[in-house]
Structure 1
Amino acid sequence: MRNLLRSFTYCTLVLLTASCMQDANEELEVKNYWPEAGITYEIFIQSFYDTDGDGIGDINGVTKKLDHVQELGANAIWFMPLMPSPSYHKYDVTDYKAIHPDYGTMDDFKQMLDEAHKRDIKVVIDMIINHTSDEHPWFQEAKKGRDNPYRDYYVWAQYDTIQDYLDKKVVTLDSDNIRQWHDPGQGDDYYYGFFTGDMPDLNFDNPKVREEIYEIGRYWLAEVGVDGFRLDAAKHIYPDDRAADSHEFWEEFRAEMEKVKPDVYLVGEVYDMKEVVAPYLTGLRALFNFDFHYTLLEAYKKEDGMLLAKKQHDILAFYNGITDDFIDATISSNHDQPRLLNELGKSKDKLKQAIAILMTMPGAPYIYYGEEIGMLGKKPDPNIREPFLWDVAEQDEGRTKWITPAFSTDNTVTPLAIQKEDADSYFNHYKRVIQLRNTHPALAIGSLELPAEKYPKAVMAYQRKTGEQELYVFHNLGKKSVEIPLPQGFDREVYHLKGAKVNGDKIKLPAFSSIVLGK
């Protein structure tokens, strides 16, 4: 039965679930819209697939599972940190030009990169340059004294000039660290570490530091061959009151990287409101849209369909006022937020619709590993990063064991191998909506237009338009079925979810259903 189902074509699978009204005989062109509107799959190697039996995922495991990424329909992979580090998460680097030994070797990485590129899958790596580990050789030298040549690689201040800062307790949007200045235990000087004392911030006023960072970027682009970087903590290169200096740095960084690779992909983590985020776009062409994630959750909570559509429309208009050369990296979850299924009250219907919303909205969507099989997870962070379930436990040779999962277990999550046999599974739903996006230019790269018509509060409605295609999208985020007028000229059902359908001159939208209409 498993082999039979795996041999079904996409359209056959769609017809089995009655989720798409596209003619099964019509040939649709599958396009790769990356980076402008392509789909990126985020992987935490530690939890992905283990090939050497040590319980920790490795790069060879990613190589073995590249076909999974390709089957899902993703165009790129973003790897969470893979450089040597003393922590499990590896956001505190000790060597910027190496692979963590738990994950493998640089040769393993280059082989994986070659295999990914053969499949037309781009590779983006996490670049953590706001800070290093306190075990990094630079910091070990810097601690030796004020005259050490590496002292000025970090930010220092004398005790009596920063007492107010030592005493204050500031909780920011993206860090709950209550003390930013830290005592190395070697005198009156304190060093700055925005996140923790284990992560001392680099001093980007020092030209030597900038050149070190540029050289690291050149190495990964030119010598290793990656396609780009995800820039961690991009907002914190300088303090908030020096935001203009941060903007200037990222413009300089981009210029240096484009000298090596003109089409380098740079996506930044700037966690704030759009007015703060937008100025970074001149340096970092892509920025994560955290508002998308949180507004989507708020829309479900309030059963307010247009909340997200209006928010997204406003953000895109605002960004276009800064530059028309930007990429809106939309997310429904990532490694820092509780798993989406938990956020949605473990509702299968809501999760499926949420992904249909993500894939029919503008932007370049990111998928966090495991979301496609409905993995679960809540804070603390390690439990949001639990092992991927490839098969039932007794047959899952590659399942990692570095942590005992508290949320994603065989009792709570159906493994991928089983989901592949189920036409109604999360995995096959993800494949369908990704395929829908990749075969309809309007959904990938079209404009976002909001309707003049008024619909029931729970209904989200928007049009997506390109010169060659025009689609109308409706989602009912409410618990009750609603019926709305069929918009004039849109009488062709392209896709529907959970029983949404055209009925004469009306559209019937059951709870948590969606429909895409064409002309």
Structure 2
Amino acid sequence: MEQKWWHDSVVYQIYPRSFNDSNGDGIGDLVGIIEKLDYLKLLGIDVIWLSPVYDSPNDDNGYDIRDYEAIMHEFGTMNDFDQLLDQAHARGIKIVMDLVVNHSSDEHAWFAESRKSKDNPYRDYYIWRAANDDGTLPNNWGSIFSGPAWELDEATNEYYLHLFSKKQPDLNWENEQLRNEVYAMITRWLDRGIDGFRMDVINLISKTPGLPDADVAPGALYGDGGQHYVNGPRIHEYLKEMNDASFGNYDVLTVGEMPGATTEDAILYTDPARDEVNMVFTFEHMDLDSGPGGKWDVLPFDLQKLKDNFTKWQVALHDKGWNSLYWNNHDQPRVVSRFGNDTMYRVESAKMLATLLHLLKGTPYIYQGEEIGMTNVAFETIEEYEDIEIRNMWQERMAQGANPEALLQAVHKKGRDNARTPIQWNAKQHGGFTTGTPWLKVNPNYREINVERALEDPNSIFYYYKKLIQLRHEHDLVVYGQYALLETANDIYAYSRTYEGETWYVYCSFAEEETTVEVAHDTTDIIIGNYATAPTNTDQEVVLRPYEAVVYRTE
């Protein structure tokens, strides 16, 4: 496999609204990010993935774009963006932008024209349909954000498709002119000097012709249209065309967010010879704690399922494609609360989870605050949550007679606002995020968990992440080594990485008590561990403490 700069890179995702507020309006901004670049340089990351900063009415926190080539006024100006790009590059940090082109805002100029009349030149930039003869919706698809996926526009008495919010109409990728406008916009950003794109739900852009009805699960109000738009019939054609017309002409990173993509799909998407994208974000490991009722039907964590899933992806893509590695992002709850122990063993389990992920093969992504072990938040009332997904779900489920206490518990565990509470920089008011009133409440534990405190403690989670990043930069084994799962007790995840005659053995305990692991290799050369002292061991076994991680090297 040809070596690329992003193979040994580590990406840090910034959710701008919640990162750092420089002007006291309660909303993070671009100048606030510039203020913290030295912090990110100290951590050692190579790339910033910047969640959307484009002009937006903010129905879905920036993922509803009104103008792809203007900056949201709350975040600053294009001059601020150029300063951020220059300042990041001066520190050796690249900038990857979000690319949101499955849908736009309903306030985008294209949609404003499209809805004016059925014969408007922009009409076909979006997906419009008349009601069925019996007056029902064009099809039975449900929106991912609850409710139907169709919204009536009274001006023309037709419906437009929106897989997400009704303020996020889907773009019609069947229209060649629309596609060419998107590719030209991508190229202008690349010419500005950015270093790539994270491509939002990019594998949803191709829909089955005719938009047929979908299967309806028992008890569901609408059909799961995903069978007709996830990895749709023209998706590979569109991605190849996009690559050829835009980012394929630059040395940049492209990662496709692809819900529903299998390992077989990912190999096709990321095979270098196919010229589509560099890597994909998969979702399978993020759905392991979802029951038959979906995301809000929360199941207990099952480590065996995680082992099986990670192993499947590591083995399938080895030397065929490329993995992206992540625990957290702006749509997922905090991993230390989800798969670890965020109370008694918060530090130990956060470091263990980091070890497990960062020593796998692929490009690791750190979500802001993960590097200090930020936790989920449990707001007392639903009114304290801002996320449109949570609010729509709550309204729909309550209308169906759901138990509010049980539903709030599910929000505490899986709600997207868990990731969106502001970064806890210090123990001052609002965690030092803002001098004003934050757009979303800060997690009350900011006095104990904050950046300032982490930087003062040489044994903090922050410095452990820094060591893991250094290992990836310094050892080709971490980047290119072959993965193999090791057979161990149910509450231990162990695997090996082998490259050019050297092997590392990674042991990660998910147990809250001591656990003995049999070993058949030397245990004298320890690469890294999350306890201050080495675990007790003999020639045949190692005794791991609660949530312990340890990595051994042999030649």
- Same-fold status (TM-score > 0.5): yes
2:552 is aligned to: 517
Change (3 A) 1:170 1:56: closer
1:76 matches 2:47: yes
The alpha-carbon deviation at position 259 of structure 1 amounts to 4.8
The equivalent position to 1:460 in structure 2, one of 493, 506, 521, is 493
Q: Tell which deviates more after alignment, 429-438 or 365-374.
A: 429-438
Q: Which has the higher contact order (CA 8 A, sep 6+)?
A: 1
Whole-angstrom distance in 1 between the partners of 2:133 and 2:324: 41
Q: What amino acid is aligned across from residue 491 of structure 2 in structure 1?
A: A
The structure 2 residue matched to 1:115, chosen from 70, 81, 87, is: 87
Give how far 1:352 is off: 2.1
Query: In structure 2, what is the Cα distance between the partners aligned to 1:491 and 1:428?
Result: 23
Where structure 1 has 5 or more consecutive residues not aligned to the other structure, the ranges are: 1-31
Residue 495 of structure 1 is aligned with which of 515, 523, 528?
528
Per-residue deviation, 1:248: 1.4
Q: 2:235 matched to 1:246?
A: yes
Aligned partners of 1:270, 1:395: CA distance in 2, in Å? Answer: 35
Three-state SS of the structure 2 residue aligned to 1:97 is strand
Equivalent in the alignment of 2:185: 216
In the alignment, the residues of structure 2 paired with residue 314 and residue 236 of structure 1 have an alpha-carbon distance, to the nearest angstrom, of 23
Q: CA deviation at 1:159?
A: 1.3
In the alignment, the residues of structure 2 paired with residue 313 and residue 234 of structure 1 have an alpha-carbon distance, to the nearest angstrom, of 25
Q: Distance in 1 between matches of 2:349 and 2:326?
A: 16
8 Å contact 1:388–1:400 — kept in the other structure? no
185-194 or 460-469, larger mean C-alpha shift: 460-469
Q: 1:434: Cα distance to partner?
A: 2.6
Q: Following the alignment from structure 2 to structure 1, what is the Cα–Cα distance between the partners of residues 341 and 137?
A: 40
Letter of the 1:356 counterpart? T
Matched, 1:40 2:27: no
Contact 1:500-1:513 at 8 Å conserved across structures: no
**SS in structure 2 at match of 1:160:** coil
Aligned to 1:318: 316
| Cα distance in 1, alignment partners of residues 49 and 490 from structure 2 | 36
Whether the aligned pair in 2 keeps the contact of 1:496 and 1:515 (CA below 8 Å) is yes
Q: Is 1:203 matched with 2:172?
A: yes
Deviates more, 1:402-411 or 1:120-129: 402-411
Whether the 8 Å contact between 2:317 and 2:323 is mirrored in structure 1 is: no
Q: 2:256 aligns with which of 251, 257, 268?
A: 268
Paired residues of 1:45 and 1:59 also in contact (CA < 8 A): yes
CA deviation digits over 1:44-93, x for unaligned, max 9? 11111122232221111111211111111211000110000001611111
- Asked if structure 2 preserves the Cα contact closer than 8 Å seen for 1:127 and 1:229, the reply is yes
2:228 alignment partner AA = D
Kept after mapping to 1: 8 A contact 2:8/2:472: no
**Secondary structure in 1 matching 2:95:** strand
> Is 1:448 equivalent to 2:495 in the alignment?
no
**What's the counterpart of residue 28 of structure 1?**
none
CA contact (8 A) 1:448 1:464 kept: yes
Does residue 288 (structure 1) correspond to residue 281 (structure 2)? The answer is yes
Q: CA deviation at 1:244?
A: 2.5
Q: CA deviation at 1:227?
A: 0.6
What is residue 376 of structure 2 aligned with on the other side?
377
SS of 1:205's equivalent? coil
User: In structure 1, how many angstroms separate the alpha carbons of the residues matched to 2:458 and 2:134?
Assistant: 61
Conserved? CA contact 2:426–2:447, under 8 Å:
no
The Cα shift of 1:295 comes to 5.1
Equivalence for 1:12: none
Letter in 2 for 1:337: Q
Structure 1 match to 2:342: 346
- Matched to 1:46, the amino acid is R
CA distance in 2, matches of 1:495, 1:187: 64
Give percent identity, aligned residues only.
30
Q: Is 1:51–2:22 an aligned residue pair?
A: yes
- Match of 2:542? 507
Q: Of the candidates 329, 336, 351, which is equivalent to residue 331 of structure 2?
A: 336
User: For 1:116-155, what aligned pairs fall within 5 Å after superposition?
Assistant: 116-155=88-127
TM-score (norm 2): 0.79
1:511 alignment partner AA: P
Q: Is the 8 A contact 1:56 1:400 kept in 2?
A: no
| CA displacement 1:88-123 (0-9 Å, x = unmatched) | 611111111111121112121112111111222111
Shift of 1:169: 5.9
Write the letter of the residue equivalent to 2:243.
Answer: R
Equivalent position SS for 1:433: helix
Other structure's SS at 1:244 match: coil
In the alignment, the residues of structure 1 paired with residue 509 and residue 445 of structure 2 have an alpha-carbon distance, to the nearest angstrom, of 32
Match of residue 11 from structure 1:
none
Q: Distance in 1 between matches of 2:168 and 2:448?
A: 35
Give the deviation of 1:428 after TM superposition.
2.5
Q: Which whole-Å deviations, capped at 9, do the CAs of 1:156-207 have from their partners, x for residues lacking one?
A: 1111269554573636xxx233311111112331111111210111111111
Q: How far apart, CA to CA, are the structure 2 residues paired with 1:374 and 1:302?
A: 19
Q: Return closer, same or farther for 1:132/1:276 CA change in 2, 3 Å cut-off.
A: farther
State the SS of the aligned residue for 2:197.
strand
CA contact (8 A) 1:375 1:413 kept: no
Is the 8 Å Cα contact of residues 127 and 230 (structure 1) preserved in structure 2?
Answer: yes
Q: Structure 1 residues 246 and 285, CA, compared in 2 at 3 Å: closer, same or farther?
A: same
Which letter does structure 1 place at the counterpart of 2:466? K
What amino acid is the match of 2:255?
Answer: V
The partner residue of 2:205 within 225, 237, 248 is 237
CA contact (8 A) 1:377 1:407 kept: no
Structure 1 window deviating more from structure 2 (244-253 vs 442-451): it is: 442-451
Query: Which letter does structure 2 place at the counterpart of 1:256?
Result: A
Instruction: Give 3-state SS (helix, strand or coil) of 2:354's partner.
Output: helix
Kept in 2, the 8 Å contact 1:34–1:364? The answer is no
Q: 2:514 aligns with which of 470, 481, 487?
A: 481
Equivalence for 1:29: none
Q: Per-residue deviation at 1:309?
A: 3.8
Q: Distance in 2 between matches of 1:394 and 1:494?
A: 39
CA distance 1:387–1:468, shift in 2 (3 Å): same
Distance 1:382 1:40, change over 3 A: same
Partners of 1:192 and 1:201 within 8 A in 2 = yes
Distance in 2 of aligned mates of 1:317 and 1:401: 49
- Distance change in 2, residues 1:496/1:382 (3 Å): closer
Give the aligned partner of residue 420 of structure 1. 455
Q: 1:268 to 1:500 in 2, by over 3 A?
A: same
Q: Whole-Å Cα distance in 2 between the matches of residues 272 and 185 of structure 1?
A: 34
The TM-score normalised by the length of structure 1 is 0.84
Whole-angstrom distance in 2 between the partners of 1:447 and 1:259: 28
Give unmatched runs, 5+ long, in structure 2. Answer: 208-226, 292-298, 378-410
What secondary structure does 2:517 align onto?
Answer: strand
Q: Considering only aligned residues, what root-mean-square deviation do their CA atoms show, in Å? A: 2.8
| CA displacement at 1:472 relative to structure 2 | 1.3
Show CA shifts across 1:423-480 (max 9, x none). 33322232233333333332233111234xx432222221112226321111222223
Deviations 1:12-53, CA, capped at 9 Å, x for gaps: xxxxxxxxxxxxxxxxxxxx9851242111101111112223
